[in-house]
Amino acid sequence: MSKKQAVWLLLLSLAAASSTSCDRIESRIIARQAAKALNGDRNDLVDDQKLHVVLCGTGSPLADPQRASACTAVLAGGHFFLVDAGPGALREVALLRLPRARLDGVLLTHFHSDHIGDLGEAVMQSWVAGRKAPLPIYGGPGVERVVNGFREAYALDTGYRIAHHGAEAMPSAGGLAEAKTVMLPAPDGSAVVFDADGLKVTAFAVDHLPVEPAYGYRFEFRGRSVVISGDTKKSDNLIRQARDVDLLVHEALAARMIEPVTDYALHNGLSRWAKLTSDIVKYHTTPVEAAEVAKSAHVRVLALTHIVPPLPNFVARRMFMRGVAQTWDGKIELGKDGMHFTLPPNDTSVAVDSLS
Which residues make up the interface to Zn ion (CB under 5 A)? 112, 114, 231
Residue of 104, 114, 231, 337 marked catalytic:
114
Collapsed DSSP state (helix, strand, coil) of residue 291: helix
Residue 26: CB atoms within 10 A of its CB come to 12
What is the C-alpha separation between 349 and 181, in angstroms, rounded?
A: 34
199 vs 203 by CB, closer to Zn ion: 203
- Under a CB-based contact definition with an 8 Å cutoff, are residues 82 and 325 in contact? no
- Under a CB-based contact definition with an 8 Å cutoff, are residues 135 and 147 in contact? no
- Supply the minimum distance, in Å, between the C-beta of residue 119 and Zn ion: 14
- Supply the minimum distance, in Å, between the C-beta of residue 117 and Zn ion: 11
- Supply the minimum distance, in Å, between the C-beta of residue 124 and Zn ion: 22
112 vs 224 by CB, closer to Zn ion: 112
Nearest residue to 231 (alpha-carbon basis) of 254, 247, 210, 215: 215
- Supply the minimum distance, in Å, between the C-beta of residue 309 and Zn ion: 13
79 vs 112 by CB, closer to Zn ion: 112
104 vs 231 by CB, closer to Zn ion: 231
Whether 236 is catalytic is no
What is the C-alpha separation between 38 and 101, in angstroms, rounded?
A: 12
Residue 91: CB atoms within 10 A of its CB come to 16
- Supply the minimum distance, in Å, between the C-beta of residue 84 and Zn ion: 8
SS3 content of the chain, % helix, strand, coil (to 5): 40, 25, 35
59 vs 77 by CB, closer to Zn ion: 59
Sequence-distant (6+) residues with CB within 8 A of 71 are 55, 56, 57, 82, 83, 84, 85, 86, 89, 90, 92, 93, 118
What is the C-alpha separation between 277 and 254, in angstroms, rounded?
A: 12
Active site residues: 114
